[in-house]
């Protein structure tokens, strides 16, 4: 039992205080587990009120979390949470209660599951829909170990996947593979579908709960196995008929026919907040032998047990710090519109003028700013769910018929659809407009959500045009440019957060493709800085510092990562001793386009070229400012690099 003073609620929750690790729950009764769940919910609310984070999903799985850890032998039995933002209660129960108020804070706990953080986190999950594939892989590995070592106990592997996450094709690919695997290891795989939207399930009632318990009991599974063996002795036509009869009989009652067709034994729906149902069913599944892959369908309520969350439209999916009593969140002072807001405004303006404009998102309508499009032009707005691959090819199909699709997807999630971007869009030169939100470093979500790689994976594709605005005014222009660009695919990538507060015209200007601009000119032969994206303003600060050292500095805004402005690059290289590029992406993105041209023209031999990009490391969650300081992409880093390149002795 912990006595740490770092737990401000110590002494408030008698049962929770007794639980340091899941093994401490093994002798608790169902009534005690129910009480423990109530205490765990209160502790989760209290903790997230001080840190902010993904509250609603975590509140919905409190009882399920308690039941899983009470029944299964974790961490030997593996529990994978998909997506990891529903794992806050799991972290509290697995030895991290003392650190839970460091959640998403610098140096603190990750907002997602993380292998390096705890042995109770067997798989890092921050992008959705990976848990069944990973769980199946773990189950197969344990099976292979057991075949080689008879004394080895095969582990249960439980993949908890949300109803949103199961919309992705990868989840069905994994289930299809598991269902067809036979005796190669899928027997110990349990998939728990956490359904908190009632999008699949019929109402949960006493009869459904009773049937679910019955169908997981040893007696029923043994009887079913006997019937299966008997059926195999019948002529094949009769065997198939008997199997169909059983599947459809249960399917009519439980709604499980789809999952049965994929080879899973379906159970549910079950009330995910009723410990009297969860614990016996999980025990039955734990103790069953050779049951084959199972899908347990539980119904939960997002935001459960906290009135402000229950009454909120998004069930408090993601919250800032808040007052526990009132639920009132601490809002940041009003400031300039966000980049997302500016993109949304210009897109809506163009959609009002042009009925060929179509907007597509993958389960992020408000995050990408397309909720306004949904309200005003619902017939031209499509949320395809967590299915980025489909979103991109869907957009390609729309573009192939002469429409103007905008596919708005976070940089980190567009990675999931890279083959579709290459094969279905770029190779066919289809004019899909990619609005790549959350480019660069993103703060508290950390490395899993950083938009570090889009410049690399987009700039290498033939036919692709890539833009990066330095501020919100430039984003307005680039959104207009994307709208007008019908000759091939085009991407505009922009950061999370607010702009600079610049005055915006009623509509954006259409930019000349592949042309940058000089924003600070000098007449000396000192340093040229060519910036792509918002780091331009750090470059301007660096120029002021260097000027104090008597060094002439020219600063240019590249605007386009591809095609680059060759004339501008040649001008900067010929007129300056040092040529620096800076970008908020991984090495090998924009700078590669520049150095390739310098090498081809021979100018690389004449100028001291220094590229600046994100380091080749994962940058952990922190404030964006601290992340860019760690990355070495701030004004004093730029100035220091310039001085060293000029053989200057002083540091900026």
Compute the residue count for the chain: 652
Residue 412 CB-density burial (10 A; 0-12 exposed, 13-18 middle, 19+ buried)? buried
Query: Is residue 306 a known part of a binding site?
Result: yes
339 is in an annotated binding site: no
CB atoms within 10 A of CB 509: 13
Give SS3 for 377: coil
Q: Where are the alpha helices (DSSP H) in 318-469?
A: 339-353, 371-376, 388-400, 411-414, 418-419, 454-459
Distance CA 154, CA 145 (A): 8
CA distance 411 to 468: 12
User: Binding site annotation covers 85?
Assistant: yes
Give the strand order in the sheet containing 189-195.
78-82, 157-162, 189-195, 294-299, 265-271
Q: Could you give the residue numbers annotated as active site?
A: 302, 388, 416
Q: Is 350 exposed, middle or buried (0-12, 13-18, 19+ CB in 10 A)?
A: buried
String of DSSP letters for 561-619: EES--HHHHHHHHHH-SEEEEE-SS-TTSHHHHHHHHHHHHTGGGTSEEEEE---SSPP
Closest CA to 8 of 66, 67, 55, 49: 49
For residues 324 and 512, give the distance between their C-alpha atoms in angstroms, rounded to a whole number: 52
- Phi-psi category of residue 312: left, alpha or beta, with phi > 0 → left and psi -120 to 50 → alpha: beta
Q: Does residue 445 have a known ligand-binding role?
A: no
Q: Does 388 count as an annotated binding residue?
A: yes
- 503 in a known ligand binding site: no
Give the residue among 391, 425, 397, 426 at the shortest CA–CA distance from 409.
391
Known binding residues for thiamine diphosphate are: 85, 126-128, 164-165, 196, 306, 388
Known binding residues for Mg(2+) are: 163, 196
Known binding residues are: 85, 126-128, 163-165, 196, 306, 388
């Amino acid at each position: 039992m912990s006595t740490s003073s770092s737990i401000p609620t110590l002494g408030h929750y008698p049962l929770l205080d007794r639980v340091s690790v899941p093994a401490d729950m093994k002798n608790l009764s169902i009534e005690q587990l129910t009480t423990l769940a109530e205490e765990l919910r209160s502790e989760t609310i209290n903790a997230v009120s001080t840190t902010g984070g993904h509250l609603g999903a975590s509140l919905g799985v409190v009882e399920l979390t308690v039941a899983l850890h009470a029944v299964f032998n974790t961490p030997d039995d593996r529990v994978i949470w998909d997506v990891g933002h529903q794992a806050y209660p799991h972290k509290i129960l697995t030895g991290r209660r003392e650190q839970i108020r460091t959640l998403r804070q610098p140096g603190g706990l990750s907002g997602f599951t993380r292998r390096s953080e705890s042995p109770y986190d067997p798989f890092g999950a921050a992008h959705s829909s990976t848990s069944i594939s990973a769980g199946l892989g773990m189950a197969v590995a344990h099976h292979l170990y057991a075949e080689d070592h008879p004394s080895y106990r095969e582990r249960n592997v439980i993949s908890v996947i949300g109803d949103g996450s199961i919309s992705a094709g990868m989840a069905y690919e994994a289930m299809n593979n598991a269902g067809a695997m036979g005796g190669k290891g899928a027997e110990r795989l349990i998939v728990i579908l956490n359904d908190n939207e009632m999008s699949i399930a019929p109402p949960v009632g006493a009869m459904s709960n009773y049937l679910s318990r019955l169908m997981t009991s040893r007696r029923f599974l043994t009887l079913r196995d006997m019937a299966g063996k008997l059926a195999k002795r019948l002529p094949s036509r009769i065997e198939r008929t008997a199997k169909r009869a059983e599947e459809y009989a249960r399917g009519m009652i439980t709604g499980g026919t789809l999952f049965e067709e994929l080879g899973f034994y379906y159970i549910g729906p079950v009330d995910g907040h009723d410990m009297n149902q969860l614990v016996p069913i999980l025990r039955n599944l734990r103790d069953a032998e050779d049951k084959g892959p199972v899908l347990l369908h539980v119904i939960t309520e997002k935001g459960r047990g906290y009135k402000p969350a229950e009454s909120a439209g998004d069930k408090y999916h993601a919250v800032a710090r808040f007052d526990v009593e009132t639920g009132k969140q601490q809002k940041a002072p009003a400031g300039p519109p966000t980049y997302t807001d500016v993109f949304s405004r210009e897109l809506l303006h163009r959609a009002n003028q042009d009925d060929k404009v179509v907007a597509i998102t993958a389960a992020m309508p408000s995050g990408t700013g397309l909720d306004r499009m949904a309200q005003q032009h619902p017939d031209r707005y499509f949320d395809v769910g967590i299915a980025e691959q489909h979103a991109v090819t869907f957009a390609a199909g729309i573009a192939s018929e002469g429409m103007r699709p905008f596919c708005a997807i976070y940089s980190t999630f567009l990675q999931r659809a890279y083959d579709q971007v290459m094969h279905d869009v770029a190779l066919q030169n289809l004019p899909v407009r990619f609005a790549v939100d959350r480019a660069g470093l993103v703060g508290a979500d950390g490395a899993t959500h950083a938009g570090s790689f889009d410049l690399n994976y987009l700039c290498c594709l033939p036919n692709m045009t890539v833009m990066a605005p330095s501020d919100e005014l430039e984003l307005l222009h680039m959104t207009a440019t994307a709208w007008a660009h019908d000759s091939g695919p085009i991407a505009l990538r922009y950061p999370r957060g607010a702009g600079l507060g610049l005055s915006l015209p009623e509509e954006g200007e259409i930019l000349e493709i592949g042309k940058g601009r000089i924003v600070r000119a000098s007449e000396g032969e000192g340093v040229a800085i060519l910036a792509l994206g918002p780091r331009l303003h750090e470059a301007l600060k660096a120029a002021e510092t260097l000027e104090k050292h008597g060094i002439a500095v020219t600063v240019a805004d590249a605007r386009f990562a591809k095609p680059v402005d060759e004339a501008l690059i040649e001008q900067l290289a010929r007129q300056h001793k040092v040529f620096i590029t800076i970008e908020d992406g991984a090495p090998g993105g924009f700078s590669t386009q520049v150095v390739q041209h310098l090498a081809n023209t021979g100018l690389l031999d004449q100028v001291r070229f220094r590229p600046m990009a994100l380091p080749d490391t994962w940058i952990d969650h922190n404030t964006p400012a601290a992340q860019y300081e760690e990355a070495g992409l701030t004004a004093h880093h730029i100035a220091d690099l310039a001085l060293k390149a000029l053989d200057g002795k002083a540091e900026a």
